[in-house]
């Protein structure tokens, strides 16, 4: 018996998905929601200028995207939560990217 196209596609998707790296950062802050949003906007403007990351707000969630990276920065009282999924080519740089996210959040939010 052969493998159906559906099963093969599902297997390929699972394999590719399992090779991607995920970054999850919870960064506490002492700012108001407005101040936190302004700081995150400054951060996202730098990401766009330096790395071509596009972003759009959906309520208190900033949706980030560029080739090889998708993610969100969610604002809540006292915490910014960053979730990123790195594509295959950026997966080896996961540690460096996570460290830079933490560094920039500290710089922007304290």
Structure tokens at 75: 């604002």
pLDDT tens-digit map of 50-109: 888 899 999 999 999 999 899 999 999 999 999 999 988 888 889 988 998 899 899 989
Whole-angstrom distance, CA of residue 46 vs CA of residue 43: 5
Q: What domains can be seen in the chain, in order of their start residue?
A: 21-109 (3.30.310.50)
What was the pLDDT predicted at 14?
46
pLDDT tens-digit map of 6-55: 554 454 444 455 567 999 999 999 999 999 999 999 989 988 888 888 99
Contacts of 106 (CB under 8 A, 6+ apart): 27
Q: pTM of the predicted model, to two decimals?
A: 0.79
Q: Over 90: is that where the pLDDT of 4 sits?
A: no
Give the residue carrying structure tokens 């993610």: 71
């Amino acid at each position: 018996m052969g493998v159906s196209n559906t099963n093969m596609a599902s297997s390929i998707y699972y394999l590719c998905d399992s090779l991607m790296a995920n970054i999850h950062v919870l960064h506490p802050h002492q700012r108001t929601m407005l101040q936190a949003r302004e700081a995150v906007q400054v951060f996202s403007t730098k990401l766009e200028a330096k790395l071509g990351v596009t972003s759009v707000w959906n309520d208190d969630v900033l949706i980030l995207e560029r080739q090889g990276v998708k993610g969100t920065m969610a604002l809540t009282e006292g915490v910014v939560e960053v979730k990123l999924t790195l594509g295959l080519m950026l997966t080896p740089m996961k540690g460096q990217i996570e460290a830079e996210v933490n560094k920039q959040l500290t710089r922007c939010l304290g």
